Structure 1
Amino acid sequence: MNDQLASPPLLLVPGHWLGAWAWDEVLAHLPSADARTLAITLPGLDGDDAERATRTLADQVDAIRNALASLGASSDDPAVIAAHSGANAPVSIVLDRHPELVRRVVWVDSGPMASGMAFAPGLPAAVSELPLPPFDELAQQASLEGIEPEGLARFRARAVAEPAPVVREPVILTNDARLAVPTTLVCCSISGEQVMQMAESGHPMFAEVARLQQVDVIDLPTGHWPMWSTPRALAEIIRAEADRPADERAASR
Structure 2
Amino acid sequence: MDIVLIGGLWLDGSAWDKVAPALEERGHRPRPLTLPGQGDGNASATLDDQIAAVVAAVDASAEKPMVVGHSAASGLAWIAADRRPDKIAMSVMIGGFPGSDGETYADFFPVRDGAMPFPGWEPFDGPDTADLDDDTMAAVQSRMIPVPETVSRGIVSFVDERRYDMPAVLVCPEFAPADVKEWIAAGELPELTKARDVSYVDLDAGHWPMFSVPDELARVLSELAADADDGA
Give the TM-score normalised by structure 2.
0.90
**SS of the counterpart of 1:100?**
coil
Q: Is contact 1:44-1:163 (8 Å) kept?
A: yes
2:129 aligned residue (130, 144, 155):
144
1:128 aligned residue (114, 127, 149):
114
Partner of 2:12: 19
Aligned pairs for 1:89-100 (under 5 A) are: 89-100=75-86
The 2-side partners of 1:40 and 1:94 are apart by 14
The 3 A distance-change label for structure 1 pair 246 and 208 is farther
**Matched AA of 1:99:** P
Q: Is contact 1:56-1:166 (8 Å) kept?
A: yes
Moved over 4 A (4+): 120-127, 245-248
The 1-side partners of 2:98 and 2:118 are apart by 23
The 3 A distance-change label for structure 1 pair 56 and 192 is same
Higher mean displacement: 18-27 or 62-71: 62-71
Query: Are residues 1:226 and 2:212 paired?
Result: no
Q: Is contact 2:109-2:119 (8 Å) kept?
A: no
**Matched AA of 1:176:** E
The 1-side partners of 2:60 and 2:190 are apart by 32
Partner of 2:45: 55
RMSD of aligned residue pairs (Cα, Å): 2.2
**Matched AA of 2:205:** T
Aligned pairs for 1:158-237 (under 5 A) are: 158-203=143-188, 206-237=189-220
Q: Is contact 1:145-1:229 (8 Å) kept?
A: no
Partner of 1:243: 226
1:217 CA drift (Å): 0.6
The 3 A distance-change label for structure 1 pair 229 and 53 is same
Q: Is contact 1:184-1:217 (8 Å) kept?
A: yes
The 2-side partners of 1:239 and 1:24 are apart by 16
Partner of 1:3: none
The 1-side partners of 2:187 and 2:10 are apart by 28
Partner of 1:5: none
1:99 CA drift (Å): 1.0
Partner of 1:67: 57
Query: Are residues 1:9 and 2:12 paired?
Result: no
**Matched AA of 1:224:** H
Q: Is contact 1:191-1:221 (8 Å) kept?
A: no
**SS of the counterpart of 2:86?**
helix
Unpaired runs of at least 5, structure 1 = 1-7, 249-253
Unpaired runs of at least 5, structure 2 = none
Kindly tell me the number of residue pairs found equivalent between the two proteins: 230
Q: Is contact 2:104-2:153 (8 Å) kept?
A: yes
Q: Is contact 1:27-1:33 (8 Å) kept?
A: no
